[in-house]
Structure 1
Amino acid sequence: MVLYDDIGAGYASGRRTDPRWMTEIASALGTARSVADVGAGTGSYEPRDRTVVALEPSAGMIGQRPPGASPAVRAVAEALPLRGNAVDAVLAVLTVHHWTDWRAGLAELRRVAPLRVVLAYDTRRHTEFWFVREYVPEIAALELGRPSADDIADELGADTVLPLPVPWDFTDGVFPAHWRRPAAYLDPGVRRACSALAQTDPVAVERGISRLRADLETGRWHERHQDLLGLDSWDAGFRLVVSRR
């Protein structure tokens, strides 16, 4: 079964485009007029002013693409149905860590486009997130088994690696999006939009959520994390990797 056919139900409602990240991604794509979006999902960060070919293995995710989105083709990153240099740029947003063979997938990105823009994250930084460290430490093993942003940058021979901080009012429900809004994690819909939570033992997740709920009721979470409450953004480890030939 394709992973997101299983865990991706309702994904479109929780994972909405944040315009601040969209601006950075559009800037990295530069003057590219044709873009292949690999692991396209619901198309959250696909540019609307260019020709886009969406490539996504999950029928469930394709079915959640909004009206007017670019046409999508079912395909895996490791075997893209495109000729060499078929497009000006290839985009891969928070998808490499789900690929069966991430190095083979990155080789395909190099093959089909002279410009590669990959949004990834520092997996170790995610293990330091308070939610993992204090409530569901079981997530750490999952994260450390995934390719990190530095691994991806090295494999692609990246020209630039740009940090993308997470604003406190971030609209895209990525796992650490609610770093300053802890009560959001009590919402099952929010948790379903996070693959790290969806792929972790439900018993461990429920145990952690119960502890978080108690800490919010007593005020312990706010006492422990006063340093976060005054921040407008936080570096959760997200990196925009840009590679040119």
Structure 2
Amino acid sequence: MRLYDTIGATYPVTRRTDPRFAAALLSALGDARTVLNVGAGTGSYEPTDRTVVAVEPSALMRSQRPAGAAPCVAAAAENLPFDDRSFDAAMAVSTVHHWADPIAGLRELRRVARRVVVLTHDSSEAGWLHRFWLTRDYLPETADLVAGRPTLAGQADAIGARVVPLPVPWDCADGLFEAYWRRPEAYLDERVRRGVSVWARLGPEVERRAVDDLGADLGSGRWADRNRDLLALDEADLGLRLLVA
């Protein structure tokens, strides 16, 4: 998570808890009373009615956890400092794509907990690259970011999980990469982009080109012409998935 020691300073500005995502995560956790949150960041989705221990490797992110948040351990997903079956459940939210070895990290979650709940992405052409207009039309370089990474099926198989689609609401409060699919002008705001690691990983030249192209298409009406059908939707399937094991 060294990346977040660089870009994480403004993370809490846009990355807030979305109540619909939170409800889905809580439902998947079931009756678990002790929960390990791996790649916890600032703790946006940590349940407040359970006993939680957080794991976060980034010192900057740990420093931004609010007063009263769950205790946080500096560690990596691939090497969790806990005994087998130490927790009723382990959760990981929008973090697997940052792990050096996602499959090893997922197996660690499976080792230390009786139940595992992971919010991840289907980054295949069908799930993300071609379905989401931002990656398809403005950021084709995202294909390079996911090349060689474990598939969604591979992640699910690693922990024996079922896969549950998680639609993104049009007014999603959590400013993750896909959040503004019906509010495209938000991607022109640098504060929004700084809360999403994809932009940092693609680099400033790609970011500048994509923002310029999107701004031009919004101004000319081309974006609206190409994506008119989206404006009638309240939610969209953009490849977010819950793995529940």
TM-score range, shorter chain: over 0.9
Normalising by structure 1, report the TM-score: 0.95
Corresponding residue number in structure 2 for 1:207: 209
Task: Answer yes or no: is 1:240 the counterpart of 2:215.
Answer: no
Per the TM alignment, residue 143 of structure 1 is displaced from its structure 2 partner at its CA by 2.8
For residues 181 and 56 of structure 1, the distance between their equivalents in structure 2, rounded to whole angstroms, comes to 31
Q: Which residue of 1 aligns with 2:233?
A: 231
Match of 1:130 in 2: 133
Q: CA deviation at 1:3?
A: 2.1
Shift in Å at residue 148 of structure 1? 3.5
> d(CA) in 1 for partners of 2:13 and 2:154?
31
Match of 2:150 among 144, 147, 150: 147
Letter in 2 for 1:195: S
Matched-pair identity in %: 57
> Given that residues 103 and 150 in structure 2 are in contact (C-alpha distance below 8 angstroms), is that contact kept between their aligned partners in structure 1?
no
Partner of 1:89: 89
**Residue 105 of structure 1, CA deviation:** 1.0
> Counterpart of 2:76?
76
Return the offset for 1:106: 1.5
Q: Output the CA distance in 2 between the equivalents of 1:18 and 1:149.
A: 23
Q: Distance in 2 between matches of 1:189 and 1:168?
A: 19
User: Would you say the 8 A contact 1:94–1:119 is kept in 2?
Assistant: yes
- Quote the residue 1:12 is aligned against: 12
- Do the aligned partners of 1:120 and 1:148 also contact (CA within 8 Å) in 2? no
Normalised to the residue count of structure 2, the TM-score between the two structures is 0.95
SS in 1 for 2:9: coil
Letter of the 1:238 partner, please give it.
L
| Deviation by residue 1:53-104 (Cα, 9 ceiling, x = unmatched) | 0000001111111222111111101111111111110001111111111121
- Distance (whole Å) between structure 1 residues aligned to residue 93 and residue 152 of structure 2: 12
How many Å separate the matches in 2 of 1:174 and 1:106? Answer: 21
Gaps in structure 1 of 5+ consecutive residues: none
Conserved 8 A contact 2:175-2:192: yes
Question: Is the 1:126–1:143 contact (alpha carbons within 8 Å) kept by the matching residues of 2?
Answer: no
8 Å contact kept, 2:163–2:244: yes
Q: Is the 8 A contact 2:54 2:73 kept in 1?
A: yes
Distance in structure 1 (CA, Å) of the matches to 2:25 and 2:91? 9
